[in-house]
Amino acid sequence: MSADPAYLHAQADTLPALFTPDTSNPFIARAVTLRDRFAEDAIARDRAGGRPTDQVALLKENDLLALLLPRSHGGQGETWSTVLRIVRLFAQVDGSLGHLYGYHYGSLLSPRLRNAPAQTDALWRRSVEGRWFWGNNSNSFSKSLFGRREGEHFVLDGFRPFTSGSHVADFLAVAWEDAQTGERRFAAIPADREGIVIEDDWDGIGQRQTGSGRVSYHGVHIHQDEVLGEPIALDPLAAPAEPWRSVTGLQQQSVLLNVFIGTAQGALLAARDYTVNQSRPWLHSGVARHVDDPWVQRQYGELLVKTRAATALADRALVAIDHVFARGDALTAEERGDAAIRIAAANVLAGEVALQVSSEIFEVTGARSAVRKHGFDRFWRNARIHTLHNPAEYKTRNVGSWALGEGYPQPGTYQ
């Protein structure tokens, strides 16, 4: 049996090839090139926060914003697994861009999941033509944005917190509570609609360029033809949505877990490069090179094993999310539940490994690595703040409950 050419190529590198993507997919190849460009100023942009305007422009120039849309609409007809592998690549150097890129697709797909076929067709075609970048204004927990009907319009007042991507968006996926009925409604509107104020007040310790702060609404008009689907009752006793209408949480969680994977991989790659090229051996190690210290070798081995294990579990979750979207309206409750468990399990491990790797790299890079110019701390800060939005405790319980025969988790925002 002949050897795999890709394997032989990997072995030819001066350093071991870690987390090398398959660039036979042209969109993955473009993303690798962009990742390397993003890396050039990732540390400076992390310090500055603000808006990654130039980076979003590069996504547009490289036609990476319509991968999931059908070819009939001008898209590339790719799968979620392609998008999520790109999320990983970007997160290797910049967790914010990985986050924004994945959430863009969640918002872009929202018209389809709201059962609004006519609007979906028009919005997707316009999005391709305009190379729109989408932002998220549909925070599920906040009941702080209310709308009232006035003739053929809804008028919105209030705000949404945690509005990732709004500060660089062309279009917004919006949700609000009806002031009279309490039902939740959805729409897709231009980000520059009169009365919308992008506060751009995000000041988190990590994910510094996601713009995940507040967007305020002051008498914002929503036209009837911009409203997507039927309103949803927020009564917890109401009948659950059909499986296909409840997959928003699965796609969001898939983005989160692949940001974790990319962060762990990126932290390990950056640390390895520093250790090989700059770290000095400890005074009492008895070795001439830091890389020859058995302690350092064991630590890197442990971190690599865990990162690869998390990556393998995440790859299984990629298969699950692809299956969910391939099934579409035919998705069954069992298929959805199986995907939820696979994604939850991958999410738990990915978050734990990202936190461990991004913290423990300092033990094997040394004191000189812990200065701001190297920016190694951004990996831990990104992982730490991202995991706080996605508590592993509840996902672990869901997996455990399922293992004990209690059934799949009830479909919801985070499961």
Using a pLDDT cut of 90, give the percent of the chain over it: 79
Selection from 81, 102, 89 nearest residue 314 by Cα: 81
Residue 14: pLDDT band with limits 50, 70, 90: low
Which of left, alpha, beta for 392 (phi over 0: left; psi -120 to 50: alpha)? alpha
Residue type, 75: G
DSSP three-state, residue 286: coil
| Integer Cα distance of 222 and 3 in angstroms | 60
CA end-to-end span of the chain, whole Å?
A: 44
| Integer Cα distance of 177 and 14 in angstroms | 58
- Radius of gyration of the chain, Cα coordinates, nearest whole angstrom: 22
Q: Could you tell me the pTM of the whole model?
A: 0.94
Residue 8: pLDDT band with limits 50, 70, 90: very low
Question: Which of the two residues, 159 and 238, has the higher pLDDT score?
Answer: 159
Q: Which residues, 6+ apart, have CB-to-CB distance to 107 below 8 Å? A: 134, 135, 136, 138, 165, 171, 172, 173
Tokens of 26: 């042209």
* pLDDT for the residue 141: 76
134-226 has which fold?
Answer: Butyryl-CoA Dehydrogenase, subunit A; domain 2 (2.40.110)
User: Is the predicted pLDDT of residue 235 greater than 70, yes or no?
Assistant: no
Predicted confidence (pLDDT) per residue in 151-184, tens digit: 989 999 999 998 999 999 999 999 999 999 999 9
Residue 295: pLDDT band with limits 50, 70, 90: very high
Instruction: Give the domain ranges of the chain.
Output: 12-130, 134-226, 243-403
Residue with tokens 């002949």: 2
Is the Cα dihedral 68, 315, 390, 403 positive or negative? positive
DSSP three-state, residue 354: helix
| Integer Cα distance of 360 and 18 in angstroms | 18
CB 386, CB 99: distance < 8 Å:
yes
* Class of the domain covering 243-403: mainly alpha
CA distances (Å), origin 349, targets 98, 261, 272, 342, 393: 18, 9, 22, 11, 11
- Do domains 12-130 and 134-226 share one topology? The answer is no
Q: Give me the mean pLDDT over the 53-71 stretch.
A: 98
Residue 7: pLDDT band with limits 50, 70, 90: very low
Architecture of domain 12-130: Orthogonal Bundle (1.10)
User: DSSP character for 380?
Assistant: H
User: DSSP character for 47?
Assistant: H
| Integer Cα distance of 400 and 405 in angstroms | 9
Question: Which of the two residues, 388 and 129, has the higher pLDDT score?
Answer: 129
| Integer Cα distance of 141 and 143 in angstroms | 6
